[in-house]
Amino acid sequence: GNVTLTGVVVSDPKITVSGGPLAVLAAGASDTTTFSGDYTITQADIDAGQVNNLAEVTGTPPTGPAVTDESSDPTPCVSCDPVVGCPTCTSTELPSNAGIELLKEGTYVDASLPAGPSAGDTIHYTFTVKNTGNVTLTGVVVSDPKITVLGGPLAVLAAGASDAATFSGDYTITQADIDAGQVNNLAEVTGTPPTGPAVTDESSDPTPCVSCDPVVGCPTCTSTELPSNAGIELLKEGTYVDASLPAGPSAGDTIHYTFTVKNTGNVTLTGVVVSDPKITVSGGPLAVLAAGASDATTFSGDYTIIQADIDAGQVNNLAEVTGTPPTGPAVTDESSDPTPCVSCDPVVGCPTCTSTELPSNAGIELLKEGTYVDASLPAGPSAGDTIHYTFTVKNTGNVTLTGVVVSDPKITVVGGPLAVLAAGASDATTFSGDYTITQADVDAGQVNNLAEVTGTPPTGPAVTDESSNPTPCVSCDPVVGCPTCTSTELPSNAGIELLKEGTYVDASLPAGPSAGDTIHYTFTVKNTGNVTLTGVVVSDPKITVSGGPLAVLAAGASDTTTFSGDYPITQADIDAGQVNNLAEVTGTPPTGPAVTDESSDPTPCVSCNPVVGCPTCTSNPFINAVDDIFNSPACSVPGLTGNILSNDSLGNVLVNSKVDSQVTLTILTGNYPNITIDSLGNVITSNGIGVGSYRFTYQVCSATTPNSCDVATVIINISDTTNPIWISPLPQDTTVSCSNVPVTPVLEATGACSNATVTHEQQIINGNCVGNYTIINTWTATDTSNNDISHVQTITVEDITAPVFLQTFPTNLKVDCSAIPIAPALTATDNCSSVDINLEETVSPVSPEGNYNILRTWTASDQCGNQTKAMQTVNVSIPDYFRKTRIEAQCNIDPDLAVDILDIMTKQFPGVNIEGGSFKDVNNSGALDNLTGIFKPLNLVDGDYIVRYENNDRECPRILELTIPVSTRPSCKEENCAKIIFHNAMSPNGDGVNDEFIIDNVINECYKYNTVEIYNRWGVKVFDAVNYDNSSNTFKGYSEGRSTINQSAVLPAGTYFYVFKYKNIENNIASKTGWLYLSGMN
């Protein structure tokens, strides 16, 4: 109004207005500070979404009634709902933020046996619903795809309130859940706010399972762990199957095994397999075995029994079953036997083994055969002959026998013990023995014998058997009390022999045979059979035999003392020139008729006349010549060798070899030079007789009785025992060079009685090389009597001479590195062996002046290590050994710049070998790739950098050095610079993404001196900056700068224009412009 108002007061039905009354309010004046008030928002206000309020002001003018006004809002809420009947109300929007949260917990309930998770158990779920918004929710319901949720809907749920009692539910666990190890569940809650759409939430677990597997795609699922208890059991039964003869357990029979597999855990098992180390298990793998299920048909197997099993008396076996649970490691179980063998031995370390009994039946058999061995003369059984016994031992049981021995009371059994004799096996080679036959055995006509065999089975007592004969003697007498004895027949062969010798006895004078002299007869009785003889008597028709009868004469025995007799010579006997006589012997064997024999003469008279009709008569002459043998020790010793009559006799008197009046000597055969026999019987040898045996036959007759003669033989042996002697000079041991080995000489020798033959043998013993060896020459001289003598010479051959080079050459050269001559090919010769030549070149380091030496050394070595050396020195100079160059400056800000050092050097140093060398970064700048030779100067400090290259040329090595100047200004050009990139969109909302205006590479040296200006679409500058750097000096969506409008004001969303000015690397002013879009800020 136009008047002053006084007592101005403001009233508001919803609040207590603070301030006032306003004493004076001048016309046209306003007051914005006196009146204010606060209203406490209620839940109903929030639910309504806004608070509507109308105040009133009253003022008193100088005159007239008080003036009033209902309040209006200078900045009305454009998003509030209009207030019916109150268009000027001040409406304050209270944005609603409806929200709801669902917490779901699951508790496992063990509802069935066995203890622990199993199908049919339950999970009890409880739900806590919370209103997380600022408005009241109504009609709150919980839904769950796996269970029926009990309780609800919840009529009202105040803002911030929770409900944990209304909703619950139970889930029945399946086997698949147990196999999975957990149950995952997600429920949903829905509530209706006062306005707007319903709010929902998927459940989360306030006490999540930390040991459960994460649920892909459902991080908030309520997971209830169902601990798996995987387990498996294997029962194994074995049944013996008699698959072969003989009846009862034997190798090759079988045991049939059946297996029962049971899932003893609470999870399904897959891939169930049974393994057994002794058999191949048929069947399986079992794809699936449900929890608690058993399988008794899938798996089986057969085991083939071996002898060791039968020996053990049982087969012990342990199988294993393996199954795979849904999670975790495979489960296994070793088998047990549901019907264990009660008579089997416990198995140490395997109490659950399936043991199948194999009853043992131990047995043994002994067969004994005897074979007569005629071990001595005469042929046929006699004491000292043997019976060779062979034994066949057979294991007649079903178990292995050990320590098998054969014993025999009559013999020592050779062989054994037999360590092992398998069941059913026979052994016919191990045991044998020999029995020496006694005379009593021969007299009995047979030998009876019984042996015994003993073997030890794996268990139980030893088994034995008395021998039997597989081929019994059918002609032998039965043995009382021993029907299985081995009887060996010894056929009897009774026989007797009578030898009769007569000796002339000169009993009267004159000397020589005359009537009344006697012949004394001695008798030798011999048992020529193989049995003992008894009652042996000798009878003779011409004489009375003294002695006898002989009570016992053993087989083969002779008797020369019991029987004798004398015969008186008659004149008729002397006239006949001899006496002939025949006697007879008789003896009684153990069985059969008596045996007899007519006498014979063991030394028959060779000069006597044969007796017609009595070839075995003993004839006695009256003279006796005896054979002689004389040995001469050497062919060169002449003289008397002996006398052939010295052992001849006339009657019973030795012939007197001193006179020739008693006997007449006639040489019948034998006529040799240098050897004679005179009338007195003397043997005389002379020089020149050869080595050998000389035989003479002679006759001697009585001088008084010319028809009494006898014949004898004499042998004269001439021998040579003297070694030959050398007649040539003997070569001695020597040491020589390999080029001076002497020729082997021919040696001669002679024998004492004959020529000598000389033989030569040479042995070469190799040394440590071709030219070192030893020659051993051996000469042996042997005469015809095999007397020999030897001489040995040792020649030691040595190679001590070095090879000799055949060429000459300059020993010192001076050359350019491009003209180094090839090393000459040298050859050498050696006096004893081939030569190996080795060339070694030694190159000295290159001097700073570019010079080096090549030292060539040739070594000629023969096969014995003797060496000769030759040397040549080549002095090499390298022109332009060290060369340098410099290139133009390189930019150090260009990321793409790469300097090819090798290419530059190839162009700068033509004619130099630039291959296979090595680079060196002298300054250690790190900019050089030593393999490729590429130099990248990016970010190097301004300055000179040196790269050195050594070309590694074997003959002309050189060092090349390149200096590379590096700088930024003035070396770099605009095109060297990294490209500047403007990010032309911003959203400065504080989320850390695009909150600032970013210019890539703005701090690069190329853009170091810059300004940034930003204008709105009306051309008003809203930002400027010098040396923009994307961090401390950057545009963040505010109006700021040196001369911008509304300093620090938030700029509205929209399109802006930027101007970027900078002094480029070439010191020229350049600029870049563009559009920048700015989205709204929070």
Query: Which three-class secondary structure string do you get for 399-437?
Result: CCEEEEEEECCCCCCECCCEEEECCCCEECCCCEEEEEC
| CA dist., res. 167 & res. 150, Å (int) | 6
**510 pLDDT above the threshold of 70:** no
Q: Does the pLDDT value for residue 1043 go beyond 60? A: no
CATH of 497-618, one of 2.40.128, 2.60.40, 2.40.50, 1.10.10: 2.60.40
**pLDDT at position 56, please?**
95
Q: Which CATH number fits domain 882-967: 2.120.10, 2.40.160, 2.60.40, 2.20.220?
A: 2.60.40
For residue 1030, which amino acid is it? N
81-85, 102-106, 380-384, 982-986: least confident range: 380-384
Domain 725-798 adopts which CATH fold? Answer: Immunoglobulin-like (2.60.40)
Instruction: Give yes or no for a contact between 1050 and 1037, defined as CB atoms under 8 angstroms apart.
Output: yes
Contact 545, 520 (CB under 8 A): no
- pLDDT at residue number 236: 96
Q: What is the pLDDT of residues 12-66, one digit of tens each?
A: 999 999 998 999 999 999 999 999 999 999 998 989 889 999 999 999 999 999 9
Regarding pTM above 0.85, the answer is: no
Calculate ∠ Cα 1016-1019-1021, nearest 5°.
65
Q: Count of alpha carbons within 13 Å of 618, Cβ hemisphere only?
A: 27
Q: How many other CB atoms are there within 10 angstroms of residue 990's CB atom?
A: 10
Q: pLDDT category, 115, cuts 50, 70, 90?
A: confident
Within this chain, domains 232-343+351-357 and 497-618 share the same CATH topology? yes
| CA 250 from centroid of its chain's CA atoms | 37
673 or 359, which is more confident = 359
How confident is the model at residue 122, as a pLDDT? 93
Neighbours of 640 (CB within 10 A): 11
CATH 2.60.40 fits 100-225, yes or no: yes
Q: Token pair of 532, please?
A: 């003992």
Amino acid residing at 743: V
- Interval 240-264 mean pLDDT: 91
Give me the sheet containing 867-877, strands edge to edge: 812-816, 867-877, 851-862, 835-843
Query: Secondary structure of the chain: what % helix, strand, coil (to 5)?
Result: 5, 45, 50
Q: Does the domain at residues 624-718 carry the CATH identifier 3.90.480.20?
A: no
CA dist., res. 469 & res. 576, Å (int) = 66
Average pLDDT over residues 1046-1072: 83
The least confident of 321-335, 544-558, 602-616 is 602-616
Q: What 3-state class would DSSP assign to 89?
A: coil
Residue 412 in this model has a pLDDT that exceeds 60: yes
Going along 242-309, which residue ranges are E strands? 254-263, 269-275, 286-289, 294-295, 300-304
- The CATH number of the structural domain formed by 364-474+484-489 is 2.60.40
Q: Is 633 a residue whose pLDDT tops 70?
A: no
pLDDT reading at 652 higher than 80: no
Q: How does the average pLDDT of the chain come out, rounded? A: 90
User: What is the structure's pLDDT at 244?
Assistant: 83
Whole-angstrom distance, CA of residue 539 vs CA of residue 549: 10
Q: Which fold has domain 232-343+351-357?
A: Immunoglobulin-like (2.60.40)
pLDDT at 870 over 90: yes
pLDDT digits (tens, 9 = 90+) for 789-833: 999 999 999 999 999 999 999 999 999 999 999 999 999 999 888
- Across 255-278, average pLDDT: 95
What are 45-60's pLDDT values in tens digits?
989 889 999 999 999 9
Tokens of residue 732, six digits: 């001695």
Cα–Cα dist 308/886, whole Å: 94
Q: What is the pLDDT of residue 673?
A: 82
- Region 936-940: what's the mean pLDDT? 91
pLDDT in tens, 122-145: 999 999 999 999 999 999 999 999
Identify how many contiguous H helices and E strands the chain contains and give both numbers.
Answer: 6, 84
3-state secondary structure of 976: helix
The Cα angle at residue 744 between residues 743 and 749, in degrees rounded to 5? 145
Lowest-pLDDT range, 403-407, 531-535, 679-683, 875-879? Answer: 679-683
Q: Are 965 and 899 in contact (CB under 8 A)?
A: no
Q: What is the pLDDT of residues 992-1035, one digit of tens each?
A: 888 899 999 888 877 878 999 999 878 888 899 999 999 889 99
The Cα–Cα gap between 197 and 839 comes to: 102
Residue 552 has pLDDT above 90, yes or no: yes
Domain boundaries, the chain: 5-93, 100-225, 232-343+351-357, 364-474+484-489, 497-618, 624-718, 725-798, 804-877, 882-967, 974-1078
Which amino acid type is present at position 562?
T
- Give the class (CATH, top level) of 804-877: mainly beta
> Does pLDDT of 708 surpass 90?
no
Share of the chain above pLDDT 90, in %: 60
For residue 1082, name the pLDDT band (cuts at 50, 70, 90): very low
Task: Give the model's confidence band at 184: pLDDT under 50 very low, under 70 low, under 90 confident, else very high.
Answer: very high
Rounded to an integer, the average pLDDT of 473-497 is 92
More confident residue, 651 or 200: 200
The CATH number that domain 974-1078 falls under is: 2.60.40
Residue 149 is predicted with a pLDDT of 96
